[in-house]
């Protein structure tokens, strides 16, 4: 289909390792968002990209988290030196404009042992 | 205190029942209100999007907003087993903050035969 895709669907890693999570937005969508969903915490905003503007990184919990979006399309969320509290589902969403409906991908379930 | 409060449930109802799901919020800057449905191991999907105080109906779903009380509701009529999912309220302001959403923790709903 033409929805938002994310990879991998599941990732198990050891504490201290780096991980990269990938998001492929809907083709033509200019805005891309990352959220984190922890048990009992709901979805927590991390970062969003809109076109060529500087990303809004206000939701990143620490400097171990970073994200980039190459060519205005695919985005990678990187978590360095993972900690057990980073275990969560990481969701990506895209929208056709900054104020339009956000379509979510299925998420990447990250488990840090 | 969280900006958005939502009873996590679980809420179990018989098929055909009317379901009432609610969120309260503290930030008066929130002006747009959404309800998302999330099936297990899937990303959230948008159900309802409202701006004004009052009711908005779409099929079996009615979204209600009371800005003076900072209270929003989602009603599901003639509930079906296929409605079993987690329901998330989300909201955002008009100015600033781009399109990032603030979510409730979600209410888990089970509709039983």
pLDDT in tens, B79-105: 999 999 999 999 988 765 567 899 999
Using CA atoms, how far apart are residues A63 and A55, in angstroms rounded to an integer? 15
- pLDDT for the residue A71: 82
Question: Given pLDDT bands bounded at 50, 70 and 90, which one contains residue B17?
Answer: very high
- pLDDT for the residue B8: 82
Q: What DSSP string runs through A61-101?
A: -STTEEEEESTTS-EEEEE-S--GGG-EEEEEEEESSTTSP
CB A45 within 8 A of CB A56: no
Show pLDDT as tens, one digit a residue, over chain A (113 residues): 589 999 999 999 999 999 999 999 999 999 999 999 998 778 999 999 988 888 999 999 999 999 999 887 999 999 999 999 999 999 999 998 766 789 999 999 999 99
Q: What is the mean pLDDT of residues B11-25?
A: 97
Residues in B closer than 8 angstroms to A54, CB to CB, are: none
B:4-23 residues touching chain A, CB 8 A cutoff: 4, 6, 8
Q: Is the C-alpha dihedral spanning A62, B100, A97, A33 positive or negative?
A: positive
Mutation to test the A interface, candidates B42, B86, B99, most A Cβ within 10 Å: B99
CB B70 within 8 A of CB B23: no
Using CA atoms, how far apart are residues A69 and A75, in angstroms rounded to an integer? 4
Q: What is the mean pLDDT of residues B55-65?
A: 96
Q: What residues contact residue B72 under an 8 Å CB cut-off, 6+ apart?
A: B22, B23, B24, B25, B33, B50, B63, B64, B65, B66, B89, B91
């Amino acid at each position: 289909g033409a929805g938002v895709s994310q990879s991998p669907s599941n990732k198990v890693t050891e504490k201290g390792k780096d991980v990269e999570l990938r998001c492929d937005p809907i083709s033509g969508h200019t805005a891309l968002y990352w959220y984190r969903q922890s048990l009992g915490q709901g979805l927590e905003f991390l970062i969003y990209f809109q076109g060529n503007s500087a990303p809004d990184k206000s939701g990143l919990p620490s400097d171990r988290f970073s994200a980039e979006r190459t060519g205005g399309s695919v985005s990678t969320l990187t978590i360095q030196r993972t900690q057990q509290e980073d275990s969560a589902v990481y969701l990506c969403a895209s929208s056709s404009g900054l104020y339009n409906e956000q379509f979510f991908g299925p998420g990447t379930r990250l488990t840090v042992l | 205190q969280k900006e958005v409060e939502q009873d996590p449930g679980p809420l179990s109802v018989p098929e055909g029942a009317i379901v009432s799901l609610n969120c309260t919020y503290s930030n008066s800057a929130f002006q747009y209100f959404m309800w998302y449905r999330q099936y297990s191991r899937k990303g959230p999907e948008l159900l309802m999007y409202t701006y004004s105080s009052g009711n908005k109906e779409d099929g079996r779903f009615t979204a209600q907003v009371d800005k003076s009380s900072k209270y929003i509701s989602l009603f599901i009529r003639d509930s079906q087993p296929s409605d079993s999912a987690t329901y998330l309220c989300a909201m955002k302001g008009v100015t600033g903050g781009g399109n990032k959403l603030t979510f409730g923790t979600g209410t888990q709903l089970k509709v039983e035969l």
